Each structure stands twice: as C-alpha cells, then as structure tokens.
Amino acid sequence: HVSRLTVEKRRREWVAARLAAKRLLGWRFQQGGLYLKPGEISIENRPDGMPQARLPGGAVVGDGTLSLSHSNGWGAAAVCEPWALVGIDLETVAPRQKGFLEVMAHDSEWAEWMQTDFVEQTRLWTLKEAVAKLLGTGFSVGFWDIRFPLEGESRRLELYNNALAAWDALGRPPIHFDSTPEDDPQGGSPRILTVAYAARSR
C-alpha cells in the first residue's frame, strides 16, 4: 500500500507503475467501447504477489496479462490480451556488486567483456526478472533456473528446475523477449526496459 512507503522516491515509482497500468487498461477497454477513468480501476496484488486490476462491478483483469515494474523513481507497466502472457522489468543501469553477479549469472551467461559493461549486466538481470514474472514464479525460482546463455553477442532462453516446471504447466509456449535502453530525460542514469511475452498454449 502506498501509505506504507516512507521513501518519497519509492512512493512516486509505486504510483507511476500503477498509473501506467491504469492508462493502458483504460486505452484497451476504450477500444471495445468501455470508458474507464483511472480512479475506477484498482490495481492490487494477488496472494501469490502477481498484480491484478479490479474494474467497476468487481471484474478482475490479471492472470499473467498485467505486469508492473519500477526503478529509481520511474514506473512501467505492460498489459496484454487474455490469450497472451507478459512480464516486464525496468532497472537503472549501474555497477552490480561482484558477489551479486556471481550468484545471479551462470557461467554460460557471462563473458569477460561484461565485467565493465554495466548495460549488459543490467540487461541480463531484467531478462531474468521479466521471464520470472511471465512464468508467475517471481524469484521463488533460482537465479540459474532462468538462463540466457551468450551466443556471440546475442542470447537465447533456457529454463531449468522450477522455472521449467512452471513453463510446462503453461503448455510450453514460445517465450519472446526484447530489451530497450532508455536515457533519462533529466540527465540521470539510463535504464533498461525488458518485456517478455508469449501466446498462451491453445
């Protein structure tokens, strides 16, 4: 709940992500002739931590079709149609502690040039986060259960253990992912926005 967030920056980014979700949902429903104001849409968390939106009358939108993220005062949201799944992650580019990188990145995901490439370090983290959100697991799975091995300078997705089990439960839909670096218009650190998406198995 926003009133529990004592740091102003965290409060702003929490609100920003939810406002982005409400605007996206409003636009989506407007295409079908339903006009909803942001105040008529409530964004809440399910018991498993996944976000969902509650509409007037009690209808719920969620179950993998809504994803939120925030970082360093900024918020982002992704909404997809009921036949799809989505996960989004937004992170500020910054050096990561060596200990964290060793725990987060599997040997197959790492190359010597990444030691000083903070953009790629951050991108790898956002890729894992976005896929974990799409799978509905969060990081109840291990960091190495979601891997993006390097093939030259590109990456492919591999899933293991609990992440693989979650993917099996979804019917093994092909998962696509895309990352975009974004400069801060206020002159701060750039950010990486990653979206993972898939069509649900029919």
DSSP one-letter string for 95-123? PPPHHHHHHHS-GGG--GGGGS-HHHHHH
Secondary structure of residue 7 in the 3-state scheme: coil
Per-residue pLDDT tens over the stretch 10-30: 778 878 888 889 998 888 888
For the whole model, what pTM was predicted? 0.89
In the predicted model, what is the mean pLDDT of the chain? 89
Per-residue pLDDT tens over the stretch 106-147: 999 999 999 999 999 999 999 999 999 999 998 789 999 999
pLDDT score at 1: 42
User: Can you state the percent helix, strand and coil of the chain, rounding each to 5?
Assistant: 40, 25, 35
- What whole-number percentage of the chain has pLDDT above 90? 56
CA distance 143 to 25: 31
Per-residue pLDDT tens over the stretch 60-112: 887 888 999 988 888 899 999 889 999 999 999 999 999 999 999 999 999 99
